[in-house]
Structure 1
Amino acid sequence: MASSPVLSSGNLLTLGMFLFGMDTAAYSEFQRSQAWRHEGTDRHMARPASQFVGPGEDTITLAGLLVPEIFGTYGSLDRLVEMADTGDNWPLVDGIGRVLGHFRIDRLDTTHRMVLAGGIPRAVDFQIQLTRVD
């Protein structure tokens, strides 16, 4: 008898050793875009011939909100920047243990909101773009 996956309320997604969750950086939106490549050859008086040549781009965009007083930490975004600075790629594993592939960090956008004295934001919107490399 197959057992059902164990769901963890704190583990949304793992990129390498970075855990996306309530204690670090919880995302509220997960968007994935996958493509497949087909090459075409023109034919006289007919539609182009097409041949499937393999998978194309596979990107994931995660968007979320950090409110360190309630959930998430500023240090989590710093850690993601450090990971991106290496240029490496890491396995991406969802909360039920499915490996989605190896992804690199291509982009991290942040928006500071409700900025307090000293330039410290009470909330930070973030969006991170990952691209599959395997």
Structure 2
Amino acid sequence: MIALGLFVFDLTTAPPQEIQHQAAWRHPGAARVGLRPAHQYLGPDDELLNLSGVLYPEITGGEVTLDELKQMGDQGKAWPLLTADGYLQGLFVIESLEATRSLFWPDGSARRIEFRLALKRVDDDRVDLIGKATA
């Protein structure tokens, strides 16, 4: 489906049920007397990607999967994002990871975990930001 660095989002890890993509461009305005503001194109703005889905630990990934994504986020590094067709989307950092646990087993572990992962694109030429796999 999608790979962020060496983490592959598939049926055994964290299959996304929804992928939301947002791209924006900067056009600041300068006030003018008696006229509409003058605008100038300054280039691309933040590009955001949100992946969300539901984990069923007995079928898909669970706490281990979330821990792996959290470790990647803790590094503060950028990761190449590739789609299933091999297209490189660019370098993305993990901005946030949300998890909502429900339907608990008698031992307190969750049978259902909803997740939302927020990614932000960084400059593609910043290879110094690329994260490394941890053992």
Q: TM-score with structure 1 length normalisation? A: 0.88
Superposition misfits of 4+ residues, deviation over 3 angstroms: none
Deviation of 1:73 (Å): 3.4
- Structure with greater strand share of residues: 1
**1:37 is matched with which residue?**
26
CA positional deviation for 1:74: 2.4
1:71 Cα deviation after fit: 2.1
Percent identity (aligned) = 40
Aligned CA RMSD, in angstroms, stands at: 0.9
Deviation of the 1:60 alpha carbon: 0.5
Give 1:18's aligned residue.
7
Out of 22, 32, 35, the position equivalent to 1:46 is 35
Could you tell me how far 1:72 is from its partner in structure 2?
2.3
Aligned length: 123
TM-score scaled to structure 2, two decimals?
0.88
Q: Is the 8 A contact 2:12 2:59 kept in 1?
A: no
**Structure 2 residue aligned with 1:102:** 91
In the other structure, the counterpart of 1:67 is: 56
- What SS does the corresponding residue of 1:127 show, helix, strand or coil? strand
Q: What are the ranges of 5 or more consecutive residues in structure 2 without an aligned counterpart?
A: 124-135
Q: Distance in 2 between matches of 1:80 and 1:105?
A: 8
Segments of structure 1 that go 5 or more residues without pairing to the other structure are 1-11
